[in-house]
Amino acid sequence: MWRADDPRYASNHDRVTHRAELDAVIGTWAAGLPLAECRTAAEAAGLGHARLNGPTDVLKHPQLEERGRWKEIPSPVGPVYGLLPPPESADWDWRLDPIPALGEHTDAVLRELGFSAGELSAMRRSGVIGEPAAAGR
């Protein structure tokens, strides 16, 4: 029978040595309780803990909403929401430009890389690149 006062768990080194055993015991215990009860017990015992958030949990995170971290960004399929980068400064105004349409900048990028108009036409004819997309589409 597992006991919290077992001398095998007296120090952090001991607990790490028996991590697999403790993970199994704690996992079994936690699986039978609601999250709120597990958190209350961990806090009462002075244990560090955190809830594992799923990828979509960030979309409704109250701190991100309260701090105005979500910004609407125009895209070819309509507005989408993007998260502002983490650094903040009163001297910065983050800019989130519209998301380009597929192929919208292909010609400009390839010309910057040194391709001629004739080479772009040849690539287009052979299907290497598609027709240029209209800006803001």
pLDDT in tens, 75-118: 999 999 888 888 888 888 888 899 999 999 999 999 999 999 99
For 42-79, the pLDDT digits (tens) are 899 888 888 788 888 888 888 888 988 899 999 999 99
pLDDT at 136 over 80: no
| Domain residue limits, the chain | 7-44, 55-86, 100-137
Task: With beta carbons less than 8 A apart as the criterion, state whether 101 and 130 touch.
Answer: no
How far apart are alpha carbons 128 and 102 in whole angstroms? 14
Percent of the chain scoring above 70 in pLDDT: 96
Task: Give the per-residue pLDDT at 92.
Answer: 83
With b meaning 16 or more CB within 10 Å and e meaning fewer, what string describes 8-23? ebeeeeeeeeeeeebe
